[in-house]
């Protein structure tokens, strides 16, 4: 069974290659303005610079299990929203955390740092990172503290994913120093006011790493990478790339540091002092490889042959991050590649095992250097299916095919439209190597989707049906996040959610209660344009006339259906927790819905007019004209009673021997009086059908409500008649 995709860090994983390869719902066939569009949005209190993050199945106290999307704002706030719905109980946030609370504790005005790159306020700029094992989201907030003396601070917070509450030891103030030629002597000190935490956070081997850039290019500043123990928030590692120089900021257009399976970290420095080629320690204008074992230590680097000219013209390589490529992109000589670029628009292909250091006159010592390939790059490249995608400023979105570790000299495809400053940051959704879609946000406040195999084919943009799909704004350098059939985009004042417009709903086939479903139970899927399906024979088929209904990517047996609804058996293989039901017809996704699978969801089948589907002891149907005798045993028919001691395969007929007894505790009442349960289990001869045999207590003749309770969860009630 395929699990739901989580987005826990910038561009999906620490390779920063920007591809979610487990997207089964969004395809090139259904991402179009007829079937795909804006579903809902959530207002927030500031600009969202960081990429949205997503975690499935979060148990929020008092609100139950939710798939949750997390965003942070420049107003120093963090929000947790239901990822699948923006209405009713989910119209507001699941929780919020705010780190400014008075006139004396505020975000930092852009005027304080004499730089309008982020305006009007600086708060949380980077993409946070999630540790699902400890249930923690880490964020860095900048604040201004106004008192007798005004100070500026950066704080690393560890927040509970379910509540937003601060974890023990949170927050911790960012402070650091290293030996070097500082302004005041032999020590270089981190001055909070002089820095912003621009690149996304990296969580690697139990350490949270924060990377730092300046505000514009003002004064003396460096590139810092500072690591904190994820459990205690104690500082355990500090790296400064220009301790004897200046200006080596880590910008990366918001891209987080990349890391490989061996624990090496890869960063790109902006303008700055470079003297490593002559025995120095300063690594400005460089691609840097750091070992994270026993602290942070530079073990390799690459600096362009023309680094001095790049410095002088402010065309540094540090405007973007790097993407680490899978081994399929390399060759025997260079199996471990990474790709980057910068403001000059030259594509660098580097061997992670030997970055190449510096060479006068040319970059011939590295795997490849492709000059003038794109406009200046801000953000990050992306990689999919032996192709690198880059979107430079003032240029088109371009795809460069890789062969024998080398990119083609010209793009294999490119978008018809060009993108103004700062270009765009591509993110990719695909199902393995199929249905690749490139998603980008751009300055006009537009979400675009392109066919990854041919970027000239634009599948969707949010202005095609602007009245319905308008994004509403744009934050520079940002990338959307794609997870489980939805696209999450941060804007200056909202999180906007896109997805398939074909809506389904699912309910308990017995009680009709919406979203009340258990593994193995019978459910009814409702929608428009559903085909008629005749009653199935055993084994019950998962596909009829090209129609399939999947629940968390597991095909559900189709029992029968008519106009507007199809009855299915929920696969026993689906565990309790958040789930998505997907209707596919002819290979195309026609609609989806999210719901929660419960351990038990008892539903009592009804005959009409509120009467329970019950057989008397003589096998006659219990009716007012055919009441059950006191002391006799009736058989009530149900679904959703959960696990049994002799499991039966999904879609298969339940045998009469051995019986399959419900493993949870089952009780019954008739007219409010306890009624002895003689048997509770799967009904022989059926699939997903349960039978509960109940002894009728001593009651006066009449009609009474029957209620079956399983593991403390009560069913709907149904009327039975007693004589």
pLDDT at 532: 74
Say if residue 489's pLDDT is above 70: yes
Phi, psi of 328 (to 5 degrees): -60, -20
Q: How far, in Å, CA of 642 to CA of 128, rounded?
A: 38
- Mean pLDDT for the stretch of residues 320-333: 97
pLDDT score, position 459: 98
Among 337-351, 524-538, 578-592, the least confident range: 524-538
pLDDT at 68 over 60: yes
pLDDT at residue 608 greater than cutoff 90 = no
pLDDT of residue 1: 32
Domains and CATH numbers, the chain: 39-499 (2.140.10.10), 505-597 (2.60.40.10), 603-722 (2.60.40.10)
Instruction: Round the average pLDDT of the chain to a whole number and report it.
Output: 94
Phi, psi of 296, rounded to the nearest 5 degrees: -115, 125
CB contact at 8 A, 723 and 628: yes
Coil, helix or strand for 10?
A: coil
Residue 88 has pLDDT above 70, yes or no: yes
Can you tell me the distance from the alpha carbon of 628 to that of 573, in angstroms, rounded to the nearest whole number?
38
Q: Is the peptide bond before 658 cis (omega within 30 degrees of 0)?
A: yes
Widest pairwise Cα distance in the chain: 102
Portion of the chain with pLDDT greater than 70, in percent: 98
Cis omega (within 30 of 0) on the bond before 232? no
Kindly report, residue by residue over 454-482, the tens digit of the pLDDT: 999 999 999 999 999 999 999 999 999 99
Peptide bond between residue 85 and the one before it cis (omega within 30 degrees of 0): no
Mean pLDDT of 226-237: 98
How is the beta sheet containing 287-291 ordered, strand by strand?
258-259, 264-268, 287-291, 297-302
The share of the chain scoring above pLDDT 90, in percent, equals 85
How sure is the predictor about 133, in pLDDT bands with cuts at 50, 70 and 90?
very high
Separation CA 427–CA 667 (nearest Å): 52
Bridge partner list, 453: none
Average pLDDT over residues 259-288: 96
CA 308 to chain centre: 40
More confident residue, 587 or 539: 539
Q: pLDDT, tens digit, for every residue of 13-58?
A: 999 999 999 998 899 989 999 889 999 999 999 999 999 999 988 9
Torsions phi, psi of 692, nearest 5?
-125, 115
Enclosing H/E stretch for 311: helix 307-312
- pLDDT (average), residues 106-126: 96
| Residues linked to residue 191 through DSSP beta bridges, in sequence order | none
Q: How far lies 279's CA from each of 282, 358, 634, in Å?
A: 9, 12, 90
Q: What is the pLDDT of residues 692-706, one digit of tens each?
A: 999 999 999 999 999
pLDDT tens across 632-670, in order? 999 999 999 999 999 999 999 999 999 999 999 999 999
Find the Cα–Cα–Cα–Cα dihedral 163, 42, 10, 413, rounded to 10°: 160
* Confidence label for 155 from pLDDT (cuts 50, 70 and 90): very high
Among the residues of 664-718, which ranges form H helices? none
Q: Is 701 exposed, middle or buried (0-12, 13-18, 19+ CB in 10 A)?
A: exposed
390 and 380 Cβ atoms separated by less than 8 Å = no
Q: How far apart are CA 204 and CA 227, in angstroms?
A: 10
Q: How far apart, in whole angstroms, are the C-alpha atoms of residue 391 and residue 347?
A: 12
Q: How many whole angstroms separate alpha carbon 576 and alpha carbon 596? A: 7
Cα distances (Å, whole numbers) of residue 430 to 27, 236, 288, 447? 8, 38, 30, 17
Kindly state the helix (H) or strand (E) to which residue 309 belongs, with its residue range: helix 307-312
Whole-model pTM above 0.85? no
- The reported pLDDT for the residue numbered 563 is 60
For the segment 624-632, the average pLDDT, to the nearest whole number, is: 95
| C-beta atoms surrounding 298 within 10 Å | 17
């Amino acid at each position: 069974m395929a699990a739901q995709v989580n987005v826990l860090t910038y561009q999906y994983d620490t390779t920063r290659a920007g591809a979610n390869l487990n997207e089964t719902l969004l395809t090139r066939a259904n991402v179009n303005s007829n079937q795909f569009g804006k579903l809902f949005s959530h207002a927030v209190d500031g600009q969202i610079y960081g990429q949205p993050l997503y975690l499935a199945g979060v148990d929020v106290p008092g609100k139950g299990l939710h798939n949750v999307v997390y965003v942070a704002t420049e107003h120093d706030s963090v929000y947790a929203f239901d990822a699948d719905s923006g209405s009713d109980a989910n119209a507001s946030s699941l929780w919020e955390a705010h780190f400014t609370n008075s006139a004396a504790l505020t975000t930092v005005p852009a005027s304080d740092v004499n730089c309008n790159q982020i305006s009007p306020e600086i708060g949380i700029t980077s993409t946070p990172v999630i540790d699902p094992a400890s249930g923690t989201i880490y964020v860095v907030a900048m604040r201004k503290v106004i008192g007798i003396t005004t100070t500026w601070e950066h704080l690393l917070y560890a927040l509970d994913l379910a509540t937003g509450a601060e974890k023990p030891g949170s927050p911790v103030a960012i402070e650091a120093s290293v030996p070097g030629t500082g302004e005041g002597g032999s020590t270089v000190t981190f001055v909070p006011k002089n820095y912003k935490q621009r690149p996304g956070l990296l969580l690697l081997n139990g350490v949270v790493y924060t990377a730092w850039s300046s505000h514009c290019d003002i004064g003396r500043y460096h590139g810092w990478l500072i690591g904190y123990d994820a459990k205690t928030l104690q500082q355990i590692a500090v790296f400064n790339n220009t301790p004897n120089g200046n200006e080596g900021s880590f910008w990366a257009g918001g891209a987080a540091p990349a890391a490989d399976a061996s624990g090496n970290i890869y960063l790109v420095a902006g303008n700055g002092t470079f003297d490593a080629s002559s025995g120095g320690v300063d690594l400005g204008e460089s691609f840097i490889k750091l070992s994270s074992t026993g602290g942070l230590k530079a073990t390799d680097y690459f600096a362009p042959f023309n680094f001095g000219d790049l410095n002088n013209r402010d065309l540094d390589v540090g405007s973007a991050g790097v993407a680490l490529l899978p081994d399929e992109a390399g060759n025997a000589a260079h199996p471990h590649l990474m790709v980057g670029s910068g403001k000059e628009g030259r594509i660098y292909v580097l061997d992670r095992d030997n970055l190449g250091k510096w060479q006068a006159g040319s970059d011939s010592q590295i795997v490849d250097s492709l000059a003038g390939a794109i406009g200046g790059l801000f953000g990050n490249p992306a990689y999919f299916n032996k192709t690198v995608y880059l979107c430079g400023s003032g240029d088109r979105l371009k795809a460069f095919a890789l062969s024998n570790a080398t990119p083609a000299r010209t793009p294999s495809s490119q978008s018809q439209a060009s993108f103004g400053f700062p270009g765009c940051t591509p993110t990719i959704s695909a199902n393995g190597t199929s249905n690749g879609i490139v998603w980008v946000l751009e300055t006009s406040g537009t979400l675009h989707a392109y066919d990854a195999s041919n970027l000239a084919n634009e599948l969707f943009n949010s202005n095609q049906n602007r009245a319905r799909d308008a994004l509403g704004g744009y934050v520079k350098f940002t990338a959307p996040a794609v997870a489980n059939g939805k696209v999450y985009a941060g804007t200056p004042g909202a999180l906007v959610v896109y997805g398939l417009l074909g809506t389904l709903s699912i309910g308990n086939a017995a009680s009709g209660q919406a979203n009340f479903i258990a593994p193995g139970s019978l459910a009814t899927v409702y929608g428009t344009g559903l085909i008629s399906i005749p009653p199935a024979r055993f084994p019950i088929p998962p596909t009829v006339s090209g129609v399939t209904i999947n629940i968390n990517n597991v095909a559900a047996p189709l029992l029968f259906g008519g106009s507007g609804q199809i009855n299915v058996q929920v696969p026993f293989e689906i565990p309790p927790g958040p789930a998505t039901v997907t209707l596919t017809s002819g290979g195309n996704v026609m609609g989806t819905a999210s719901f929660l699978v419960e351990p038990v969801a008892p539903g009592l089948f009804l005959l009409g007019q509120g009467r329970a589907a019950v057989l008397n002891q003589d096998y006659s149907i219990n009716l007012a004209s055919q009441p059950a005798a006191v002391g006799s045993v009736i058989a009530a028919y149900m679904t959703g009673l959960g696990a049994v001691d002799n499991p039966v395969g999904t879609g298969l007929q339940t045998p009469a021997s051995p019986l399959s007894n419900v493993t949870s505790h089952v009780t019954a009442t008739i007219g409010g009086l306890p009624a002895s349960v003689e048997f509770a289990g799967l009904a022989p001869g059926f699939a997903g059908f349960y039978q509960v045999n109940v002894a009728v207590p001593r009651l006066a003749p009449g009609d009474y409500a029957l209620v079956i309770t399983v593991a403390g969860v009560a069913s709907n009630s149904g009327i039975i008649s007693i004589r």
